[in-house]
């Protein structure tokens, strides 16, 4: 039949188990503000009786396992959307910088410079012999060329700045991968005896989240407890081993030197997918080259059309006109006044018939402002420039909308994760009161058993 010693053993198991549960609840409360912390629960189970308890009465309670309240499918979805958010946020930031450079805040813009340039030619057409108007044309042309040069240089500089960002991401990916591998070793060592290294696993999950912000990742743990993380179909972290990524240079055909991310052991390109890196590479390799190409086309057609009409006129001395713009270096970067007209206002070919008082050729050049050009898709020079500005602004707006939508997805998924694994103080305090009452009740059982044993001893 059951003994008083068995009752004491039952009470003892309750005291130890509920004390352990109270420690875990206290640990949860202490980490209510700790980033990445997942609340923990002690799984309890009835402790079966032994052969010395033939009546089938149990032997109290025991701790079965320490549980992290986390849902793996929520983590996968969260990291997938987090990677998308990192990409859209970085694209938005970089496109805002492009928009700030290309946009038309006032007089310094190319649109205003085009208006001033063709306006100067129109004035010269009215007063072809007036030197002040001729100098005004040269000044406006030089200013316009300078705007094209400056904008081209600014866009090229932005590509170069993104290269520095690629280097930074490569360092961060390697650092985070090394931390993951180190944490993998610590977790394996801590769990050799079957325990759960909950806090170390929290630290590992937080690092995985950080990696998801930078590149598109997938992560899983196999049946043996080995944690693996893949980037672009290749394992970046395999248990306690971390692969290394590095930057490699390549030319872009226009003199630019670009940095790409490659696997250090094979030299193959890293498929970043999304994240910060994906957003940076999209702007560097797609958006900026397209805008530079459009800018070069605009500058090239401007130079070609002005030169064509300028060669059709004659200057103050009756000489045939030569190129107004230097086309030795094609595109926006090389646009400049030709040496023939530089500091030589008398060489401007404003006349259509050779007469000093004739300004018809200058007027013809001024009319380019309203001429639609096939090379520019049937648009005028100003319309082509406006289209470039509009495209930059429209893409920035689309990216901002994508970022807002992505933020909503991430916030919703984070709320789901928090509902499961976040620490709720009200809930923890309620659980703590329940555990405290269970502990106190077990202590009373110990006291009761002790009193009964004392009464038996007094009878002997």
- Give me the residue spans of the domains in the chain: 4-69+422-459, 76-141+165-329+338-410
pLDDT of residue 346: 94
Using alpha carbons, select from 104, 97, 141, 155 the residue that is nearest to residue 333.
155
Strands (E), 310-379: 325-326, 336-337
pTM of the complete model = 0.85
CA–CA separation, 297 and 152 (whole Å): 12
The one-character DSSP state at 436 is: H
Q: State pLDDT tens for residues 66-104.
A: 999 999 999 999 999 999 999 999 999 999 999 999 876
Largest CA distance in the chain: 143
Q: Is residue 339's pLDDT more than 80?
A: yes
pLDDT of residue 355: 87
Is residue 205 within 8 A of residue 217, CB to CB? The reply is: no
What's the token pair of residue 150?
A: 């400056």
Q: What mean pLDDT is predicted for residues 176-184?
A: 95
pLDDT of residue 453: 76
Q: Is residue 50's pLDDT more than 70?
A: no
Q: State pLDDT tens for residues 356-379.
A: 889 999 999 999 999 999 999 999
Using alpha carbons, select from 60, 38, 39 the residue that is nearest to residue 49.
60
**Confidence band (pLDDT; 50, 70, 90) for 54?**
low
Using alpha carbons, select from 326, 233, 232, 339 the residue that is nearest to residue 281.
232
pLDDT of residue 1: 44
CA–CA separation, 92 and 90 (whole Å): 5
């Amino acid at each position: 039949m059951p003994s008083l010693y068995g009752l004491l053993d039952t009470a003892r198991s309750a005291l130890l188990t509920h004390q352990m549960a109270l420690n875990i609840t206290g640990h949860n409360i202490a980490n209510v503000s700790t980033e990445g912390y997942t609340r923990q629960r002690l799984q309890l189970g009835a402790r079966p009786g032994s052969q010395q308890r033939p009546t089938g009465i149990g032997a109290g309670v025991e701790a079965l396992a320490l549980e992290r309240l986390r849902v793996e499918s929520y983590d996968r979805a969260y990291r997938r959307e987090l990677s998308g958010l990192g990409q859209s946020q970085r694209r938005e930031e970089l496109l805002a910088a492009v928009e700030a450079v290309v946009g038309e805040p006032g007089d310094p813009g190319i649109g205003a410079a085009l208006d001033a340039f063709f306006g100067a030619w129109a004035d010269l057409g009215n007063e072809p012999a007036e030197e002040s108007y001729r100098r005004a044309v040269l000044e406006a042309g030089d200013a316009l060329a300078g705007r094209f040069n400056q904008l081209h240089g600014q866009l090229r500089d932005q590509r170069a700045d993104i290269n520095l960002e690629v280097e930074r991401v490569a360092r961060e990916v390697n650092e985070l991968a090394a931390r993951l591998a180190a944490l993998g070793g610590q977790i394996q060592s801590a769990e050799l005896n079957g325990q759960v290294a909950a806090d170390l696993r929290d630290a590992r999950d937080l690092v995985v989240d950080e990696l998801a912000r930078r590149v598109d990742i997938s992560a899983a743990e196999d049946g043996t407890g080995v944690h693996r993380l893949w980037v672009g179909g290749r394992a970046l972290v395999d248990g306690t081993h971390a692969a290394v990524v590095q930057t490699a240079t390549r030319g872009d055909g226009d003199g630019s030197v670009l940095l790409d991310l490659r696997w250090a052991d094979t030299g193959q390109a890293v498929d970043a997918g999304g994240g910060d890196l994906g957003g940076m590479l999209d702007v560097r390799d797609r958006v900026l080259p397209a805008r530079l190409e459009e800018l070069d086309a605009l500058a090239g057609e401007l130079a070609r059309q002005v030169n064509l009409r300028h060669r059709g006129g004659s200057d103050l001395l009756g000489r045939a006109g030569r190129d107004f713009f230097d086309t030795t270096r094609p595109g926006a970067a090389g646009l400049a006044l030709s040496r023939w007209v530089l500091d030589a206002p008398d060489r401007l070919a404003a006349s259509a018939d050779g007469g000093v008082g004739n300004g018809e050729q200058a007027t013809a050049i001024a009319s380019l402002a309203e001429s639609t050009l096939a090379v520019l898709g049937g648009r005028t020079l100003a319309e082509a420039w406006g289209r470039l500005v509009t495209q930059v602004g429209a893409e920035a707006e689309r990216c901002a909308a994508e970022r807002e939508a992505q933020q909503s997805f991430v916030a919703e998924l984070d709320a789901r994760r928090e509902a499961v694994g976040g620490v709720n103080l009200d809930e923890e305090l309620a659980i703590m009161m329940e555990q405290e009452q269970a502990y106190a009740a077990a202590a009373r059982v110990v006291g009761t058993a002790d009193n009964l044993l004392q009464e038996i001893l007094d009878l002997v």
